[in-house]
Amino acid sequence: MTSVAQRIIAAVSEVAGGGAPLHAPVFRGNEQAYVDDAIASTFVSSVGAHVTRFEQELAAFTGAKAAVAVVNGTAALHVALLMAGVRRGDEVIVPALTFIATANAVSYCGASPHFADSEPGHGGLCPQRLRAHLEEISDIRDGLCVNRETGRVIRAMVPVHVFGHPARMDELMRVAEDFHLAVVEDAAESLGSRMGGRHTGTSGLAGALSFNGNKIITTGGGGAILFNDVQLAARARHLTTTAKVPHPWEYRHDAIGFNYRMPNLNAALGCAQLEALEDMLRSKRALHERYSRAFADVEGVSLMDEPDGCESNFWLQTLVLDEGLEDQRDGILEALNAAGFMSRPVWGLLSEQPPHAGAPRADLDVAHSLARRIINIPSSAYLGEDA
């Protein structure tokens, strides 16, 4: 009798060979050349040709009307939430099962996250459970959704495309409409993921991307906000550049802005990474297919596949242990990491993190269950392929 841990290690090593990081960036194209160009131009900071090019190419790739490049995904979420009208004292629906940045960005606006549950298949915000919760705890007053228990306005929701798998946006958009919520998508993990052809991050008012070193493409640190309205995008870009009114030499600012603009040096890296994106997506899908074959007969665990009708970028490959095997998770993680296969559990639920412990919440049964059963395994592009 082999243990679940032994069966998992055998399947992972069949695909990943002798050991592998969780997710490593790959620089095989014009990265060095474009960074050298930026240095040679002396435009290394918040102005430069690469920033504009990066924004235009992101918009073209995603089908958004405009993209605004910023210093990281958290800043992208912060400005997107401000553009959605989130203000001090508001509440914003955030899944409990996400990275801390989603909730922190809400707090930066002076608002409170209001935690909602996930759906069991792919871990995204669950539209049915959210609708039932809002029906139970909110009233619509003067066109606003008001939490009857706290008396606060629930202004927006932030669906997250967990590990690159698209959340159920069509149903979530209907909930948003019925309850008068603005929609900001956290697409930090889902560049290249689409539902029925529509790119993640382009269904609501705005979508936030991240280009941190562990994401599908990287700019070192970086992020972007996707918009379908060019005027909103222009306003957001203005806010990210200290709200300075354009003028050849005068310093005038018409709002409290932010120093959030992506530096040209980082955008140079990003332009080269975008050129490689299609090939990385192909490679990550092929990796998923190899893992699918390796895990087909492994009992006790299933590999998360893309949702029906969607195309995932397969950012992180995800194992979900069967119910009842929760207690084995840490042993499996220890064994995988000891064997050289860098593996991680999912984030601790945000509803349990001290800074957000007092935040309002729905029943989080599914999120609690998933949080104890998820294991991410080595997922880099080109893993196991000949270099």
185 binds ligand PLP (CB under 6 A): no
186 binds ligand PLP (CB under 6 A): yes
**By C-beta, is 186 or 306 nearer to ligand PLP?**
186
Asked if 154 and 145 count as a contact pair (C-beta separation under 8 A), the reply is: yes
160 binds ligand PLP (CB under 6 A): yes
127 binds ligand PLP (CB under 6 A): no
What does the alpha-carbon distance between residue 351 and residue 94 come to, in Å, rounded to a whole number?
10
219 binds ligand PLP (CB under 6 A): no
Q: Which of 70, 84, 154, 188 is close enough to bind ligand PLP by CB under 6 A?
A: 188
81 binds ligand PLP (CB under 6 A): no
- Copy the structure tokens of residue 23: 């997710």
Closest approach of Cβ 222 to ligand PLP, in Å?
A: 7
Closest approach of Cβ 270 to ligand PLP, in Å?
A: 12
Closest approach of Cβ 207 to ligand PLP, in Å?
A: 11
**Could you count the other beta carbons within 10 Å of the beta carbon of residue 256?**
8
What does the angle CA 115 – CA 174 – CA 315 come to, to the nearest 5 degrees? 60
73 binds ligand PLP (CB under 6 A): yes
What does the angle CA 29 – CA 200 – CA 98 come to, to the nearest 5 degrees? 95
Could you tell me which of 196, 187, 195 has the C-alpha nearest to residue 215? 187
**By C-beta, is 100 or 298 nearer to ligand PLP?**
100
99 binds ligand PLP (CB under 6 A): yes
Among 96-104, 136-144, 256-264, 349-357, which window interacts with ligand PLP (CB under 6 A)? 96-104
**By C-beta, is 201 or 328 nearer to ligand PLP?**
201
**By C-beta, is 145 or 350 nearer to ligand PLP?**
350
Asked if 23 and 214 count as a contact pair (C-beta separation under 8 A), the reply is: yes
What does the alpha-carbon distance between residue 8 and residue 295 come to, in Å, rounded to a whole number?
8
210 binds ligand PLP (CB under 6 A): yes
CB under 8 Å to 356, separation ≥6 — which residues?
103, 107, 113, 115, 350
74 binds ligand PLP (CB under 6 A): yes
Distances (CA, A) of 170 to 156, 163, 165, 340: 16, 19, 14, 40
159 binds ligand PLP (CB under 6 A): no
Q: Which of 72, 147, 317, 379 is close enough to bind ligand PLP by CB under 6 A?
A: 72
The helix or strand, by DSSP H or E, that contains position 350, with its residue range, turns out to be none
212 binds ligand PLP (CB under 6 A): yes
Could you tell me which of 122, 292, 97, 294 has the C-alpha nearest to residue 193? 122
Closest approach of Cβ 113 to ligand PLP, in Å?
A: 13
Pairing mode of beta strands 374-377, 317-321: antiparallel
List of residues contacting ligand PLP (CB under 6 A): 72-74, 98-99, 101-102, 160, 186, 188-189, 210, 212, 223
